[in-house]
């Protein structure tokens, strides 16, 4: 019986050396330790042994049982460890893709607008988002009773400090602090207490200002035509419609041909065939007085456009709030 036990151990060792996965190990366990397994069957014959032999053989068999059991466990642990590392690597599995960030559509449009004006020789300048009443309103010739000062539209910190409601105060700051000629754009965030499909409390504007002796309305037209044709395409028509702003005289609003109906008139353009995209005009002489430009040969134009508005028209987005909801399904369309 002792030699039989020895043979079991040797054949187990040999078979274990060939096991390649956990199913093989399980088969081995059944083959040697199972109810009808080789070791179990042998142990059943213990009764046939002479009584004085039983304790010794019993001990050897038990040791063999423990041995087989522990070798199987150790092999199982090694195999499952291998699975996690190189030996178990499934090279056919698709790789895990990195999630790439992308530039927000508003910043993309902003960059496109900036590049276009930089190509025309404009420099990019910035101004503060927390403004004072003087730069946001007064120096822009917006008198105290003007509706733009309405508490409902402006976020105030105090009577004299507020979140800028437009980028036009940067015009004042630049004219106060620069030598002529001035040819700048001022992009940035602006704030108004307003929220619906076409308004959000924060949005972006790009202000433009060209001040220099001899600048006239045709320069304004040329620059804004270049803007529309670069951003919306060379065939998009535009028109200048007389308007009013306290800081420009004369003032105009620029419309582009409705991209939905092609000018025939539809719901989006309110049956006019035109969509408003910006405000502009020749700098009002009253503004030059505020900033201390006294040379009467100096003239200039200014314009202000809404970046979200441009993006909405360019990509046919019908709710401005989509830009700021941070819904990746929407934003990814522009990445
Ligand atoms: N600041 C105006 C607004 O927010 C837009 C504007 C109109 C800016 C005419 C200008 C301009 O520079 O000349 O509604």
Q: Which helix (H) or strand (E) holds 73?
A: helix 54-84
For residue 205, report the distance from its CA to the centre of ligand 1, in Å: 9
Provide the mean pLDDT of the chain.
92
Residue with CA closest to ligand 1 atom 8: 304
Tell me the residue ranges of DSSP E strands in the chain: 123-124, 130-132, 161-163, 182-191, 202-213, 238-245, 248-257, 274-283, 298-306
Q: Which helix (H) or strand (E) holds 66?
A: helix 54-84
**Among the atoms of ligand 1, which is closest to the Cα of residue 247?**
13
pLDDT tens digit sequence for 187-232: 999 999 999 988 999 999 999 999 999 999 999 999 999 999 999 9
For residue 273, report the distance from its CA to the centre of ligand 1, in Å: 23
pLDDT tens digit sequence for 119-134: 999 999 999 999 999 9
For residue 306, report the distance from its CA to the centre of ligand 1, in Å: 9
**Residues 311, 317 contacting (CB under 8 angstroms):** yes
Q: Is the pLDDT of residue 24 over 80?
A: yes
Query: 319: which 2 tokens?
Result: 């709710």
**Among the atoms of ligand 1, which is closest to the Cα of residue 190?**
4
Q: What is the pTM of this model?
A: 0.73
Pocket of ligand 1 (CB under 6 A): 166, 168, 207, 245, 248, 279-281, 302-304
Query: In the prediction, which pLDDT does 201 show?
Result: 97
Residue with CA closest to ligand 1 atom 3: 166
């Amino acid at each position: 019986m002792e030699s039989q036990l020895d043979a079991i151990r040797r054949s187990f060792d040999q078979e274990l050396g060939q096991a390649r996965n956990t199913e093989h190990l399980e088969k081995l366990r059944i083959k040697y330790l199972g109810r009808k397994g080789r070791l179990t069957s042998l142990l059943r014959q213990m009764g046939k042994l002479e009584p004085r032999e039983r304790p010794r053989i019993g001990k050897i068999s038990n040791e063999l049982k423990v041995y087989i059991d522990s070798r199987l466990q150790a092999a199982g642990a090694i195999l499952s460890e291998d699975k996690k590392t190189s030996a178990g690597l499934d090279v056919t599995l698709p790789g895990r893709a990195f999630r790439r960030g992308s530039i927000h559509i508003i910043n993309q449009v902003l960059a496109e607008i900036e590049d276009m004006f930089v190509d025309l020789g404009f420099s990019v300048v910035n101004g503060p988002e927390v403004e004072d009443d003087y730069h946001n309103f007064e120096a822009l010739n917006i008198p105290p009773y003007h509706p733009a000062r309405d508490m409902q539209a402006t976020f105030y910190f105090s009577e004299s400090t507020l979140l800028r409601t437009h980028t036009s105060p940067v015009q004042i700051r630049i004219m106060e602090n620069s030598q002529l000629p001035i040819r700048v754009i001022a992009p940035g965030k602006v704030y108004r207490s307003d929220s619906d499909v076409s308004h959000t409390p924060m949005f972006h504007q790009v202000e433009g200002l060209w001040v220099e002796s001899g600048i006239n309305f045709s320069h304004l037209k040329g620059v804004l035509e270049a803007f529309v044709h670069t951003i919306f395409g060379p065939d998009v028509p535009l028109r200048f419609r007389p308007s009013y702003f306290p800081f420009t005289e004369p003032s105009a609003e620029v419309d582009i041909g409705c991209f939905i109906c092609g000018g025939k008139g539809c719901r989006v353009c309110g049956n006019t065939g035109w969509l408003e995209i910006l405000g502009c005009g020749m700098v009002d002489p009253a503004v030059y007085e505020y900033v201390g430009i006294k040379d009467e040969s100096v003239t200039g134009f200014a314009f202000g456009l809404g970046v979200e508005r441009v993006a909405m028209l360019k990509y046919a987005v019908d709710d401005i709030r989509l830009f700021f909801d941070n819904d990746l399904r929407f934003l990814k369309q522009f990445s």
